Homo-oligomer: A and B are copies of this chain.
Amino acid sequence: MKIALDAMGGDHAPSVNIEGALETIKEHDDIDVILVGDEDRIKSGLSSRRYDQGRISITHASQVVEMHESPSLAIRKKKDSSIRIGIGLVKSGAADAFVSAGHSGVVMATSLLMLGKSEGVDRPAIATLMPTIKDNFLMLDVGANVDCKPLNLLQFAIMGSTYCRLILGRAAPKVALLSIGEEDIKGNELTKEAFKLLKETRLNFTGNVEGKDIFTGRADVVVCDGFTGNIALKISEGLAETILKMLKREITSVSTGRIAYMLLKPAIRNFKKKTDYDEYGGAPLLGINGTSIISHGRSSSKAIKNALRVAADYASKRVYEAIAAEIKSDPHFRRT
């Protein structure tokens, strides 16, 4: 399995990206990596390292999309960006999958443009794994589609459930709709209509879930529009950081706190590990006709490695084809 990795994407590129590629070929016999980006910089990053040169190759791309760029401009003007060249490798068959920690909007739009949608999919979505007190759950959409129709949410549910089954190995994923009350009459116009559609599917639909309950592990897949999902995701990240900062401040301000904080370090490390996006291996673009995985902008080499692992699984299990098959078999889409 050959995976094209955007060597230039992310806050710590290309060093952590190169490191992630090296760790990957060491740990995973089935994954070879194509580093896509500035050839000189990648070569210099690799120069002092010992690795199996048959398993890491370089494809040059002269441009880099910066995080603050407008997606439409970047796509029009940067035809030789590492994102575009990398996705091109998937399109031509030279790579089985693409991974980037770069500009998620540009990765999404370029994937859509070059690879197209899985058959029957109306709107691809960005999914992300979030921790719960027991395990984790998949939330989607978290930003690709800010204004949605009820049928979009239904497709997100089908796509998320398929991913959860094939990649996370959960037999009958519990699917819930993010809303403001558990009863079917609670919600906005969008979720109330989506609820009716979801009831009629073969999915293991468990109804609405409220914001306060998503972290208790009540659902494997939480479905929402991309505006709500992005806000939910960012609030969770921001609050987790804030709570740890506030706790640390409180802890070190009481007399016994400094000792306690020292004693606590292993516990805080464990906690961070469980809640860290590094562990989760990136956010898949569901509904794209191919494998394109977004990794967090702040990705470490471990996050890159985990994203490459997910990309390999996604490609080998042909999740994008399974999604097309599931959507095709749903009565709402068979009729139309």
Contact = CB atoms under 8 A, between A and B. Distances in A.
Contact of A235 (B225, B236, B264, B270): B236
Interface in A129-155: 132-133, 143, 146-147
Contact of A227 (B228, B230, B238): B228
Contacts of A232: 211, 231-232, 235
A77 to B, nearest CB: 17
Interface in A10-27: none
B251 A264 contact: yes
A30 to B, nearest CB: 34
A251 B231 contact: no
A3 to B, nearest CB: 29
Contacts of A266: 254, 256-257
Interface stretch (A240-248, A300-308, A319-327): A240-248
A178 to B, nearest CB: 6
Interface stretch (A80-88, A109-117, A213-221): A213-221
A263 interface: yes
Contacts of A179: 227, 231
A253 B239 contact: no
Contact of A254 (B133, B234, B250, B270): B270
A211 to B, nearest CB: 3
Contacts of A236: 211, 235, 239
B242 A271 contact: no
A268 interface: yes
Contacts of A254: 264, 266-267, 270
A312 to B, nearest CB: 30
Nearest to A186: B146
The 6 A-B pairs with the shortest beta carbon distances in the complex, nearest first, are A211-B234, A212-B238, A211-B235, A260-B263, A250-B267, A256-B263
18 contacts: A70-B185, A146-B187, A188-B225, A188-B227, A191-B227, A211-B237, A213-B238, A215-B241, A227-B228, A231-B231, A240-B243, A243-B243, A243-B275, A247-B271, A250-B267, A250-B268, A260-B261, A264-B264
Interface of A: 70, 132-133, 143, 146-147, 178-180, 185, 187-189, 191, 210-216, 225-228, 230-247, 250-251, 253-254, 256-257, 259-261, 263-264, 266-268, 270-271, 274-275
